[in-house]
């Protein structure tokens, strides 16, 4: 059985809770600290496709860099480029498992793909 992958920020309570849910399910996910190992634009596009959402649903509009870059009203391509360049903009955590993906907000939502 392939183990899940989690785009994880250990400083985020939702990310820690999601990781705990995976571990309680007996899984040992591969942990990608996406702030240090940023996903590429292609990886972000693949994640969005698996999540079934657009970039507006994966971007953190409350981050200062969102406002600094003037991203309100930006194109999807511009949002994806901004997330690749500034991974703090990526909503977290994202879990990938068996060709599916889920956003851990709330953390229990990842149970749907396990």
Is-catalytic flag, 12?
A: yes
Q: pLDDT, tens digit, for every residue of 44-100? A: 999 999 999 999 999 999 999 999 999 999 999 999 999 999 999 999 999 999 999
User: Please, which residues bridge with residue 5 across strands?
Assistant: 30, 96
For the entire predicted model, the pTM comes to 0.94
User: Can you list the pairs that 37-40 forms with residues at least 24 positions away whose Cβ atoms lie under 8 Å?
Assistant: 38/84, 38/85, 38/87, 39/7, 39/83, 39/84, 39/87, 39/90, 40/84
Q: Give the E-state strand segments of 1-106 in sequence order.
A: 5-7, 30-32, 94-97, 100-103
Q: Which domain holds residue 47?
A: 5-113
Axis-axis angle for helices 41-51, 76-85 (nearest 10): 120
Indicate which residue of 3, 6, 8, 12 is catalytic. Answer: 12
Q: Is the pLDDT of residue 42 over 80?
A: yes
Q: Is the pLDDT of residue 1 over 80?
A: no
Rounded distance, CA 71 to CA 67, Å? 6
User: Please, which residues bridge with residue 108 across strands?
Assistant: none
Q: What is the CATH number of the domain that holds 56?
A: 3.40.30.10
110 and 23 Cβ atoms separated by less than 8 Å? no
The number of folded domains in the chain is: 1
Residue 80: burial class (beta carbons within 10 Å; 0-12, 13-18, 19+): buried
Question: Please, what is the average pLDDT of the chain?
Answer: 96
Q: Report the pLDDT value the prediction gives residue 108, as an integer from 0 to 100.
A: 96
Q: Report the pLDDT value the prediction gives residue 58, as an integer from 0 to 100.
A: 97
Query: What 3-state DSSP class applies to 114?
Result: coil
């Amino acid at each position: 059985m392939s183990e899940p992958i989690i785009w994880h920020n250990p400083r985020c309570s939702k990310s820690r809770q999601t990781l705990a849910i995976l571990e309680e399910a007996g899984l040992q996910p591969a942990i990608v600290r996406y702030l240090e190992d940023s996903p590429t634009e292609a990886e972000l596009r693949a994640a969005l496709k698996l999540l079934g959402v657009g970039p507006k649903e994966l971007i953190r509009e409350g981050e200062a860099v969102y406002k600094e870059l003037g991203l309100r009203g930006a194109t999807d391509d511009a949002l994806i480029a901004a997330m690749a360049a500034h991974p703090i903009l990526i909503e977290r955590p994202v879990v990938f498992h068996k060709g599916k993906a889920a956003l851990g907000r709330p953390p229990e939502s990842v149970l749907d793909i396990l």
